[in-house]
Amino acid sequence: MSKHFQVLVIGGGTAGIMVSSMLKRKNSSLQIGIIEPTDTHYYQPAWTLVGANTYNYEKTARPMASLIPKGVDWIKEFANKFEPESNKVITKAGLEITYDYLVVAPGLKIDPDMIDGLQDAMDKGIVCSNYTNPKHTWEILKNFKGGTALFTQPATPIKCGGAPQKIMYLADEYFRKVGIRKNTDIVFALPSGSIFGVKIIADTLMNVVDKKDINVRFFHKLVKVDGNKKIAWYEIVKDLSGGGCVTIADGDEASLDRDIQYNYKDVKVTREGDLYGIHFDMMHLAPPQRAPDFILNSPLASETGWVDVNKGTMQHVKYANVFSLGDVSNLPTSKTGAAIRKQAPVVVENISKLIESNVLSGKEYKGYTSCPLVTGYGKMVLAEFDYNQNFEPDPKLKQFPLMIADSSKEHWRLWMLKKYGLPYLYWNKMMKGIEV
């Protein structure tokens, strides 16, 4: 059995639905198919708020059938194999689907197996993640009685790189509210040497960290989690030859040089060979993330495993009728819904122009993305930036009703945008193919 479409879209997430909707708005006669196996579509940016008990989880979910654009054929199957030389996709059930143009946007895969022991510990006991089960995160925060609260992230790319911090700031405020913050050390361990890639935003966040007295441990690459012993094991990935050093005491106890820490806290750290284990009483993490296997092992993938596209046009570097956007592409920008909001119109314009006249539109994506960085209940910073890490706030932020003079600083109106404005725009504009 086989089918053919003018445009075939892989994925019914933010990117796939948005591109399909915009194409249909532009040309209702287009024959479009979406390959998507799941029944439910989630607005995942709200899961941080779910994990902090300030947003209803049920409101983040809608039936996939309600979002598939009218006139678009929904193929409820798993994509399994690409044959771009013959313009063909084969599903796991063996259905062969051919296309004139292909849009690859299945999203990324969360892979706990990339960290030893994480699969056994994930979303069980005192280990949680808003990326997988935000309701479990809230249960852990609610039942936490004090000790070491560890927040961490992997060395892989992740959806919304700022998300591991947001829940940490909310946890800090919740712990203060219930009176256990004085009995708690909050530790943020991350593999990079900076808390955020855009300097003006990093400066703001370091002020937040200072104000909240959070211990930040740089250059910590998470490699193993022992859920039973409550230890997260790290490699120190900084080149320490330039003066920094790791100091190891006699016996099992170890401490790290303060050169790679900020707001040092004397939490329990154990040595095991070259690894350093931080003992925790609760742990929230962003799990490792990568491209799905059918992407990773396909002719569409680059050496890094992501779909290999031109960063401006999002056209595949080898196959001219293939485009990719969103989390699965190798675009050198953050993997966020805000990035997709700017990527989708470019893909749509380029495909439309190719169908019409066999040339690209000339429209290019400049790397825009944004990261809404919640810094507490009722406070948020909005990081907007391009490929070059330039801070580029939307001029609309200064207009009524937001009237934000500087979105690099904490503001309650940005919190309102996060909690109410962005979900509205997502469901009522982006998912309906309306450019915002």
Q: Which residues are catalytic?
A: 160, 371
Alpha helix (H) residue ranges in 111-198:
118-121, 134-143, 163-177
Query: What one-character DSSP code corresponds to residue 243?
Result: S
Contacts of 314 (CB under 8 A, 6+ apart): 323, 324, 325, 329, 331, 343, 346, 347, 350, 365
List, in sequence order, every residue forming a beta bridge with 231; answer none if it has no partner. Answer: 226, 279
Q: What is the Cβ-side half-sphere exposure of residue 276, based on CA atoms within 13 angstroms?
A: 21
Return d(Cα 95, Cα 79) in angstroms, integer: 9
Three-class SS state of 235 = strand
Return d(Cα 235, Cα 83) in angstroms, integer: 40
Return d(Cα 377, Cα 172) in angstroms, integer: 10
In degrees, rounded to 5, the angle at the alpha carbon of residue 170 between the alpha carbons of residues 155 and 215 is: 55
Query: What one-character DSSP code corresponds to residue 297?
Result: T
Return d(Cα 269, Cα 377) in angstroms, integer: 31
Return d(Cα 325, Cα 346) in angstroms, integer: 10
Residue type, 376: G
Return d(Cα 30, Cα 23) in angstroms, integer: 8
Return d(Cα 339, Cα 333) in angstroms, integer: 8
Q: Tokens 């956007």 appear where?
A: 325
Q: Where are the beta strands (DSSP E) in 153-228?
A: 184-189, 215-217, 220-226
